[in-house]
Structure 1
């Protein structure tokens, strides 16, 4: 299965960007949110990249292409 960088639809605080990045890199979403918050508020870097990711990253629809459908 190929990993895709997508915003998470269910684990959302603002737009699901941090949860999508955490899922892609197999990290805890809280850790990614804390790192992103520190970058945004302490160093001033993070707000514009977050908005760009929000605009560019597609939303995960929750369906895997190779998932077997069981009735």
Structure 2
């Protein structure tokens, strides 16, 4: 599995869904659909998105530790 970062390409808003999709081997559009559908359920989805936006490093700013 790849590292959890917000990629520079294929972003719509902040790259959170794209980064999660890359990490778990899904299509970015599939992850976006899962997020939108999850918003129909009660819960802190928007808060989780904002937290991930803050905590996930940007791909251009992340360092490679090989």
TM-score (norm 2): 0.82
Which whole-Å CA distance do the structure 2 matches of 1:55 and 1:44 have between them? 22
Aligned-residue Cα RMSD (Å) equals: 2.4
Separation in 2 of the partners of 1:23 and 1:64?
A: 17
CA contact (8 A) 2:2 2:22 kept: no
Which ranges of structure 2 fall in alignment gaps of 5 or more residues?
A: none
For residue 14 of structure 1, report the CA deviation from its aligned partner: 0.6
Unaligned runs of 5+ in 1: 66-71
Q: So what's the TM-score if we normalise by structure 1?
A: 0.77
| 3-state SS in 1 of match to 2:41 | coil
Q: Which protein shows a greater Rg?
A: 1
